[in-house]
Amino acid sequence: MKQLKDIAKKHKKDTYSLSFTAFVIGAMTVTQALLIVSIVMLIFLEEKSFSAVTSQLATLLVVFSLRGGFSYIHGKIGIGMASKAKNHFRKSLITQYTNNPIQTSIKGQSGKRVTLVTDVVDEIDPYFSKYYPQRILSSIVSLMLLAAVFWQNWVSGVIMLVTAPLIPIFMIIIGKKTEKKAIQQLEKLTSLAGKFLDSLQGLITLKLFGKGREEAAAIKKSSMEYRTATMDVLKFAFLSSLVLELISMLGIALISLEVGLRLVVYQNISFFAAFFVLAIAPEFYKTLKDVGSAFHAGKGSIAAAQKIVDELEESDQIIQWGNEQLSQAAGPPSIRLNNLSFTYGEDHFSLEGIDAAFDPYSQIAIVGPSGSGKTSLLHLIAGMYLPSTGEVLINNQSLFNYDEGEWFDKLIYISQDPYIFSGTIKDNILIACPGKNISQEVLTYVLEKAGLTELIGQLEDGTNTLIGEGGRGLSGGERQRIALARAFLKRPSIILFDEPTVGLDLYTESILQESIKELAQNATIITVAHRLHTIKQADCILYLEKGTLIGKGTHQELIENTKDYLTMLEEQQGGIAG
């Protein structure tokens, strides 16, 4: 609620405009009642001809039009405020996600995020397009109507004053219940979106394990839960309308009774005053009822705003890059890991105090059992994660002192399953050198080096063949070779390589070994190694277990000093391609 109020406060001009239009609407409502009463009196009591009231009728028409026109403007201002508020929340969420895109993408939950940015932000709309303008309208108009009734008949005014608070009291009671239900409804919606996206992404796996039907049932269950939550919210909406209707009917009935008694039995009120009060009373209760209904719609917005604020408060620490330039001198920089620690969060996996130094042109292997933190360490060295303590030193300076573009220009990260974008083969290779003009000769050279020449030769459109989403698929080996082509084009001085654990075809395997050997002539290579061949060749091996660096040294040194390393090798001897 506070966040929504703050936004409303920021748009003071809109609030003033809403107050002004509300004031005009209130004045028009009172004038309208006065005109109707006087026209009826002239025609029915004073038996004047129709022509005698034409000027009043014309004024009434103008008043109707003004009231309608100002009601339209009032609504428009609310819609404008809603649009600004949604814009604000969307911008904040997107900024939050894009400030640290890598951490956001690592956390996953894409379905939930998409729903937050789209549907949940849309839920903010009713607060500003309905509730806020209606609250201003109702508070100003109801006071004006009350004053007008007191002016003509104070007893009716007192009845209104006594019955009117029942509406806000009831609104508060039911509002409390609705808010809880609206929060539950939004939770069900985000969980349904997450589940649906998850199932879509894992469709093949689900099919292969014969879990298709089970998953469909789970999605159905999730959507049923969302339906039930929506029905619960609607139940309160209907209940709330019913009670508001009852209260206002009761109020109008009491006033009619009082006015009727005074007019017919006690005869101490003029026809004009009685008719005027009867014309105003329904308007008075309607305006209060309307704020009640709008309040109900606004409760959903409060729940949505809370959800968005919770997401915004769950702030990741943002990686702030500096503007130091990396030495332009040829050759890779020195790399040092200084007491490097990292955690995925409380009670999650963590890497603890890693110290190591890598000379330029060295070949480093990171080894250890599955889940020991090898890939996490590679991500830390790449600058994708923010260490919880310690730092990565590049040429004796903290990595994050450098300019981000400069750093990523020097580096290439070859993951186990390189990502292929929707586009041509050429586009997918050229992303390694954005903005640079690459000649056909260079392209042919990198295709040759990456072992892609034969594949390209078989394709009708050659390097212009569409791949990725919307194009033809590629095998795991072909993806690896595209990644190698990117590396040959970029010629980085640091190569971070997450060696594939799955067996590649022999051709890709040999291309991979050859290529890495060639790229290593100009670069430092840090490999999460699974092949004995890579491990044996390394100048330095880091042996990790459960996020801790157990041993460090050459293959021989580790065999002699680190028992666990030897045990791992013995266990994997059969599994590792040698």
Binding site for ligand ATP (CB under 6 A): 106, 344, 348-349, 368, 370-376, 528
Between 106 and 576, whose beta carbon lies closer to ligand ATP? 106
- Here the tokens at position 551 are 């041993």
Q: Tell me 129's DSSP state.
A: I
DSSP assignment string, 28-72: HHHHHHHHHHHHHIIIIIS---GGGGHHHHHHHHHHHHHHHHHHH
Between 115 and 372, whose beta carbon lies closer to ligand ATP? 372
Between 119 and 316, whose beta carbon lies closer to ligand ATP? 316
User: What's the CA gap between 401 and 520, in Å, rounded?
Assistant: 26
| Residue 381 three-state SS | helix
Q: Which residue has the tokens 């104070």?
A: 154
DSSP assignment string, 374-425: HHHHHHHHHTSS--SEEEEEETTEEGGGB-HHHHHHHEEEE-SS----SEEH
From the CB of 544, what's the least distance to ligand ATP, in Å? 7
Burial of 557: CB neighbours in 10 Å, binned 0-12, 13-18, 19+:
middle
What is the DSSP pairing of strand 363-367 with strand 540-545? parallel
User: What's the CA gap between 427 and 463, in Å, rounded?
Assistant: 9
From the CB of 567, what's the least distance to ligand ATP, in Å? 16
User: What's the CA gap between 428 and 468, in Å, rounded?
Assistant: 9
DSSP assignment string, 61-127: HHHHHHHHHHHHHHHHHHHHHHHHHHHHHHHHHHHHHHHSHHHHHHH--HHHHHHIIIIIHHTTHHI
Between 376 and 534, whose beta carbon lies closer to ligand ATP? 376
Between 171 and 378, whose beta carbon lies closer to ligand ATP? 378
Between 270 and 416, whose beta carbon lies closer to ligand ATP? 416
Between 67 and 374, whose beta carbon lies closer to ligand ATP? 374
From the CB of 536, what's the least distance to ligand ATP, in Å? 19
Q: Where are the beta strands (DSSP E) in 169-285?
A: none
From the CB of 348, what's the least distance to ligand ATP, in Å? 5
Torsion of the alpha carbons at 123, 126, 128 and 133, rounded to the nearest 10: -170
User: What's the CA gap between 79 and 126, in Å, rounded?
Assistant: 9
From the CB of 418, what's the least distance to ligand ATP, in Å? 15
Between 129 and 372, whose beta carbon lies closer to ligand ATP? 372
From the CB of 379, what's the least distance to ligand ATP, in Å? 8
Name the residue among 390, 458, 466 with its Cα closest to residue 421: 466
From the CB of 15, what's the least distance to ligand ATP, in Å? 44
Between 425 and 528, whose beta carbon lies closer to ligand ATP? 528
From the CB of 475, what's the least distance to ligand ATP, in Å? 21
Q: Is the dihedral of CA 161, 167, 170, 172 positive or negative?
A: negative
- Here the tokens at position 316 are 């990741």
From the CB of 500, what's the least distance to ligand ATP, in Å? 10
From the CB of 106, what's the least distance to ligand ATP, in Å? 5
User: What's the CA gap between 439 and 150, in Å, rounded?
Assistant: 87
Between 36 and 106, whose beta carbon lies closer to ligand ATP? 106
Between 368 and 451, whose beta carbon lies closer to ligand ATP? 368
Residue 163 · residue 254 · CB < 8 Å: yes
What size, in residues, is the chain?
578
From the CB of 344, what's the least distance to ligand ATP, in Å? 3
User: What's the CA gap between 93 and 86, in Å, rounded?
Assistant: 11
Name the residue among 27, 277, 299 with its Cα closest to residue 140: 27
From the CB of 376, what's the least distance to ligand ATP, in Å? 3
Between 251 and 551, whose beta carbon lies closer to ligand ATP? 551
User: What's the CA gap between 238 and 244, in Å, rounded?
Assistant: 10
User: What's the CA gap between 226 and 119, in Å, rounded?
Assistant: 14
- Here the tokens at position 519 are 């790229």
Between 170 and 344, whose beta carbon lies closer to ligand ATP? 344
Residue 526 · residue 494 · CB < 8 Å: yes
From the CB of 162, what's the least distance to ligand ATP, in Å? 60
Q: Tell me 495's DSSP state.
A: E
The separation between CA 37 and the C-alpha centre of its own chain, rounded to angstroms, equals 55
From the CB of 200, what's the least distance to ligand ATP, in Å? 20
Between 135 and 374, whose beta carbon lies closer to ligand ATP? 374
